[in-house]
Structures are given as C-alpha cells and as structure tokens.
Amino acid sequence: MRRTGPEITEALLHGYVDGKLTEAQRASVELYLASHPGKAAEVAHWQHQNEALRTLFGAAANEPVPARLDPQLLARRRTGSHFGVPWPRLAAAAVVLLALGVSAGWYGRSAVFPEETASAILIEDAVTAHALFTRERRHAVEVAASERAHLLTWLSSRIARPIESPDLTAEGFTLVGGRLLPASAYSEAGPAAQLMYENDAAQRVTVYVTAALPDGAGDRVFTTLDSLDAFYWANDRITCTVVGDLPEAEMQMLARKVYAELTRRPDEAYRDI
C-alpha cells in the first residue's frame, strides 16, 4: 500500500507533543498513533513530562535561551581557549565535576527529600493525568465509550487485571472513554488505566487504576493536590484513585460508588472514606 501522508519520524512525534505541527501533519500523526498503541503510550508519557515541567517551572520554561548559551558562540569557543586553558581540558574538567555533582545529589537525595510512599506517587500520577487530559476536548480519551467492550478488554490486558467501568449514571456522570498510561518511573504497579466521566455541566472525573502493589496491602487516602481532590484506595488486586474538582460530599459519593463497583463489595464498607 502506498503511503499517503508524511513518514512518521521521532522528530515529527516530538513536534506533535510540542504543538509545532501543521493541521495536516497533526492529522497524520494522530492516524498513525491510533494504530500504534505502544507508540501512543510513549507519546502520552512525553506529554505527561511536558506538563510536569510546565507545572514545576512555570513561565521560566518558555523563556529564551540566554545569550551565553548560544550554540554558535559555544562552537566558536571550542576552537580556542578560555583563560589560557585549552578547550579539551575544560571539557574534561566539566565532565568530572558533573559526575561528582550527580553522584553527590543521588546519594544525598534522601537526606533532603524523604522517600515518597507508593500511594503518594500514584496519587500524584493520577492528579497529573487528570489535569492533563480533562482539559482536552477532541483528544480527552484514546478509546471512546461507544467502544466500551473493546476499551475494557484492552485496558484489562495491559494492566493485567480485569476491570470494569463503574456505572455512575445515577450520580449524573456518563463514561467518556479511557486511555492507557505508562508506568511511573518510581512505581512498581505497572501501567495505568484512566477512565473519564462527564456530567451535563461538562465537569469531569477520572478513575485511575493500576495492578496491586507488590505487597498487596490495603490502604485508603484522601488528599487535595493542585486544587484537585483525590480519593485513593488499594487492595490485594488493584489500586484506584478517583480525581475531580467537585464539592467534597459529591466526590465522596462518587468515590464510594467506584469502590463498591470495582470491588463488588457493599458500599457500607467504605463509609469512612
């Protein structure tokens, strides 16, 4: 079959993530990603990283590169010397100092930043994914609710746990669809499934599910992160984080319903959420 669009290169995928493509190029990339779920998950991870960088550094991420770091200026300096020291020696010294700095930072990290718990990491991932994808209109999900059976079969196979989409219609929310998200770099729970729901007021809630943690221990956490409420629970089968920006009583009601449907246990078991 003859290719009708541009070749989908890594550069083109990065351009897609950075919003640098023309409408025609974007359409070609989206068509490609629709038939390459592995690459789609990788691209979603890049988008996740971009969003995290913007959250961490704000406007600084968009500032121009300082003049002292201009590539042409640096290239010219390579042929000469600086303060009488040949460039190769400066480069070697820089590499040694960088290695020492990285080693010191790595081994001293726990003294400055206490080790995060698995639940905290998963909650952060769930909140970040919610903030990233709920603002999308055309690309909020990978697979729409109209393909619910396919969506649940696919996500269940990828997280290696059978999952269902909780029925929240009585609470005023309908399933929009879902997507597969890559595993956190710091988590042993594996990839995650995100299910998205929406009500008539266009308010969205997400359900973030992974396989159980290695110890299979149960846990329950309610927290607010970046102005979003997150209800997290874990058992010996899965972990689940319900994320939204709704009145607390409504979020509790939704979280209880999700818990009851995903565990097939009575709602009363989670009254203390």
DSSP characters over 29-61? HHHHHHT-HHHHHHHHHHHHHHHHHHHHHGGGG
Residues 106, 108, 114, 115, CA torsion sign: positive
Q: Do residues 217 and 242 both lie within one domain?
A: yes
Lookup: tokens for 215: 């110890």
Q: From CA 123, how far away is CA 231, in angstroms rounded? A: 8
**Are residues 132 and 101 part of one domain?**
no
Residues 49 and 141 in one domain: no
130 and 265 both lie in a single domain? yes
Cβ pair 257, 266 in contact under 8 A:
no
Question: Is residue 33 located within the same domain as residue 87?
Answer: no
Same domain, 189 and 123: yes
Among candidates 111, 107, 82, which has minimal Cα distance to 94? Answer: 82
pLDDT tens by residue, 151-179: 999 999 999 999 999 999 999 999 999 99
Counting the structural domains of the chain, the total is: 3
Look up residue 128 and give its amino acid.
T
Give the closest residue to 202 by CA, choosing from 246, 161, 234, 233.
Answer: 246
pLDDT digits (tens, 9 = 90+) for 43-66: 887 776 666 555 444 544 555 555
pLDDT in tens, 97-133: 555 554 444 344 344 434 578 889 999 999 999 999 9
The CATH number for 132's domain is 3.30.200.100
- Same domain, yes or no, for 181 and 212? yes
Domain residue limits at 256:
118-270
Q: Is residue 162 part of a domain?
A: yes
- Asked if residue 134 is part of any domain, the answer here is yes
Domain match, 249 and 138 both: yes
- Inside any domain, residue 168: yes
- H or E element that contains 209: strand 204-211
